[in-house]
Structure 1
Amino acid sequence: MKKILFLAVFTMLLAACRGETANSGSGTSKNDQDKLEKANIVLDWTPNTNHTGLYVAQEKGYFKEEGLDVDIIMPGDAGADNLVASGQAEFGISYQEGITEARIQGVPIVSVAAIIQHNTSGFASLKDKNIKTPKDFEGKTYGGWGAPLEKAIIESLMKQDHADVGKVNIINIGDTDFFTATKQNIDFTWIYYGWTGVEAELRNTPINMVWLTDYSDKLDYYTPVISTNETMIKEKPETIRKFLRAVTKGYEFAIENPEEAANILIAAEPELDPDLVQASQKWLATKYKDDAARWGEQKLEVWENYSQWMYDNGLLEKQLDSKKAFTNEFLPES
């Protein structure tokens, strides 16, 4: 995850990015479409089950019911945070760590909903590597994307296990996936279990997981989230409410009907592996809301804990004002 240079000029890549949209869905006529308020949401990555609620809201007509015509846009090179920050997209898929860094740099993006209630990521390795604890990272090679955050988290976990991060060979493998990386002398990588871990199960590839949340409550942060910007909050609060009412219905549908929700995502993005989507959807169905009072709910203590951890580990130049980084104001009542 590259540190985002938010204050750069955004407009260079926007036209191409706006062209990469998913279908608006629901069989709406052109005249009806013209009457709807248009909005975009930019994904963080290629479509996957983190995004299913969006596709359900689109296909089931939940956006239309709220008077919205929503395009789901691929991130392109500009990235969701940049597009949302610059006002070129109304909404985006982001992460707590990305929004934290952005706000420290003075960029006014805000999280308005947590897609998944708890952090489902961790460090994965093939079972025959025998990496079961952070102590086992010593003498091994980690393949990542080159962000300072990665080494900080590895070091934090290893300290609790009285291990030395200096004995880990950390290399940048960019976007190389776990299965390819482990064939290229990489011992462990950081994955989201709901996609890559489930894929390992389908491949009958035994893996070990070192879960971040097993070692620190402060690493149980929101990832991913839905973001908007402060201008939207000030000028179009009702648009945000409408959008989140529709999206909430989409994720609630996915929670109650994972198989049908998976089929909606597969139909919209037919290049995806149907078996993986179905299995991943079933795994995530209980994770979206989990123990929260309602889908999307965020807690101040989660934002404060993780930003404090980032600050303590030298990843932030100053303390975050967590109360301005997120809001539950626009979520529908449970």
Structure 2
Amino acid sequence: MKKFALLSALLGLALLPSASAQSGTPAKPVQVRLQLKWFPQAQFAGFFVAQAKGYFKAEGLDVQLLPIGDQSPIQTVSTGAADFGTTWITDLLTARQQGLPVVHIAQLFQKSGFTLVSLKSSKMTKPADFKGKRVGVWPSGNEYPAIALMKKYGLTTSLDSTVSNPSVQAVTYPFDPSIVFPDKVDLVSAMTYNEVDQIVGLGYSMDKLRIFKASDYGINLLEDLMFTSQKVLDDKNFKGSGLSGREVAARLVRASIKGWNYAVKNQAEAVNIVLPLCGNTCKGSGTRADAKGHQTWQMAEIAKLYNSGPTLSGRAGYLDPAVYKSNVTLLKSLGILKADPAAGAVDYTVWQAATGKK
């Protein structure tokens, strides 16, 4: 009887939750694939910092940060090749319109960094002057801010097959401005944190450039956000971890925001964390072909996009409903969206669970 009692006691102890389970952390790290919108660079510094500082690990997550290049993260997440991703809000909402069940869970950049850049010698001073010009745009949904800006000023583009005589000739190019600017296009798409500095490196100093910031013209289409699929959110046992997809999402968002807050406050350290991960795309162009210099520029500009709106009131990662509504209204007015997105396009419960805020 004593042996039986001892055996029963041991079995009972074995069946008790482990210490890690009692604390809410999985006994084994949960494998998570996060699809980045581009190659490793300071644009994603917060994620790399969260990885380097152990913020993901502290949440019980083993996060793999996946580069993608000029493809759309929407495809990898919607097909299940990645669990979560980063993209722009226009890309996400147009994907929803096409029937892809992707869901916005956190808004990291609160201000658009999209610009169109020309030489001052071209004499263009306002969007109306784009008429008759050649404009360099990016593929895979990244052309929408440029289209929105031009449509707002009554300009049509060659991207619209229904227009027989477009007022602007769009030239699609693969993200490297040196391929097209200034010989093949009069204006070129450029992010404040990346291509603007690359253009400077090509020998065109800032005083020779005219930079049309989309946000200055009412086109503040939000960029880098975190999203996932409805399938992941509805998963009751994500990859057999014992955690629901929503809980994994909240842990990922919480650790990511912590990483972003640290990166923005410690920019030099963040750049040093990113540099070993950088390839040739991190070096800038021409006279600015220095990885550390270009990534330092990028980190400083990224910080401006992150430190805006809700972030300034302690609500990093929060999608301001008013800004979201204005983005939807703009996209509808331009015909990019045909109707209001379904309520499920944005899930605030993940951000609330991650931050403990409403």
Give the TM-score range, shorter chain: 0.7 to 0.9
The aligned counterpart of 2:227 is 227
1:283-294 → structure 2 map (5 Å cutoff)? 283-292=301-310, 293=313, 294=315
Number of positions where the alignment pairs a residue of Structure 1 with one of Structure 2: 297
Go from structure 1 to structure 2 and tell me whether the alpha carbon gap of 1:291 and 1:154 turns closer, same or farther (over 3 Å shift): closer
Unaligned runs of 5+ in 1: 1-32
Which residue pairs with 1:307 in the alignment? 328
SS of 2:183 mapped into structure 1: coil
- The answer to whether the 8 Å contact 1:103/1:325 transfers is no
1:201-255 deviation per Cα after TM superposition (whole angstroms, max 9, x unaligned): 5555232111222222xx2222011111112222211111111121111100111
Structure 2 counterparts to residues 72-91 of structure 1, below 5 A: 72-75=65-68, 79-91=72-84
Q: Secondary structure at the match of 1:92?
A: strand
Matched, 1:158 2:181: no
Shift of 1:324: 3.3
Aligned to 1:23: none
**What's the TM-score once normalised by structure 2's chain length?**
0.75
Distance 1:264 1:38, change over 3 A: same
In structure 2, how many angstroms separate the alpha carbons of the residues matched to 1:264 and 1:254?
Answer: 10
Distance 1:195 1:76 in 2: 14
Q: How has the CA–CA distance of structure 1 residues 326 and 50 changed in structure 2, closer, same or farther, with 3 Å as cutoff?
A: farther
Q: In the alignment, is residue 108 of structure 1 matched against residue 106 of structure 2? A: no
User: How far apart are 1:183 and its partner, in Å?
Assistant: 3.8
Give, in angstroms, the shift of residue 331 of structure 1: 3.5
**Whole-Å Cα distance in 2 between the matches of residues 50 and 100 of structure 1?**
22
SS for the counterpart of 2:194 is helix
TM-score between both structures, scaled by the size of structure 1: 0.80
Q: How far is the alpha carbon of 1:150 from its aligned partner?
A: 5.8
CA distance in 1, matches of 2:121, 2:35: 39
Quick one: which of 46, 49, 52 aligns to 1:53?
46
Kindly report the root-mean-square deviation, in angstroms, between the aligned alpha carbons of the 2 structures.
Answer: 2.6
Task: Find the partner of 1:282 among 293, 300, 325.
Answer: 300
Q: Distance in 1 between matches of 2:52 and 2:261?
A: 14
Q: Is structure 2 residue 265 aligned with structure 1 residue 244? A: no
User: What is the 5 A alignment of 1:80-159?
Assistant: 80-145=73-138, 149=144, 152-159=147-154
Decide which of 213, 216, 233 is 1:214's aligned counterpart: 216
Identity of aligned residues (%): 22
Deviation at 1:158, TM superposition (A): 2.3
Equivalent residue of 1:87, what SS? coil
Q: CA deviation at 1:303?
A: 2.2
Match of 1:321 among 317, 326, 342: 342
- Paired AA for residue 178 in structure 1: P
How far has the Cα of 1:55 moved from its partner? 0.7
CA contact (8 A) 1:124 1:210 kept: yes
Instruction: List, as ranges, runs of 4+ consecutive aligned residues in structure 1 with deviation greater than 4 Å.
Output: 163-167, 201-204
Aligned position for 1:16:
none
Distance in 1 of aligned mates of 2:71 and 2:309: 34
Partner of 1:253, secondary structure, is: helix
> Cα distance 1:61–1:150, how it changes in 2: closer, same or farther (>3 A)?
closer
What is the DSSP-based 3-state SS (H/G/I as helix, E as strand, rest coil) of the residue aligned with 1:251?
helix
Aligned to 1:332: 355
Q: Which has the greater radius of gyration?
A: 2
Counterpart of 1:308, as a letter, is T
Partner SS, residue 111 of structure 2: coil
Over 3 Å counting, the alpha-carbon distance change for 1:322 and 1:156 in structure 2 is farther
Question: Residue type of the partner of 1:91?
Answer: F
